[in-house]
Amino acid sequence: MTWLGTALAFIGLVLLTGNGISNISLSYGQTLTLICAFVIALEIILIGYFAGKVNLRRVTVIQLAVASCLSFVSMPIVGERNIPDFSWQLSILVLSLGLASALIQFVMNWAQRMVDPTRAAIIYSGEPVWAGVFGRIAGERLPLLALFGGCLVVLGVLVSELKFKLLEKKKES
What is the domain partition of the chain in residue ranges?
1-76+86-172
- CA neighbours within 13 Å on the CB side: how many for 64? 18
pLDDT, tens digit (0-9, with 9 covering 90-100), for 17-46: 766 566 666 677 767 777 877 788 888 888
Q: Is 139 left (phi over 0), alpha (psi -120 to 50) or beta?
A: left
pTM, rounded to two decimals: 0.64
Of 102, 92, 91, 13, nearest to 57 by C-alpha is: 102
pLDDT, tens digit (0-9, with 9 covering 90-100), for 56-109: 899 999 999 999 999 889 988 888 888 888 999 999 999 999 999 999 999 988
Q: Are 101 and 71 in contact (CB under 8 A)?
A: no
Q: Is 140 left (phi over 0), alpha (psi -120 to 50) or beta?
A: beta
pLDDT on residue 64: 93
pLDDT, tens digit (0-9, with 9 covering 90-100), for 146-160: 788 888 888 887 787
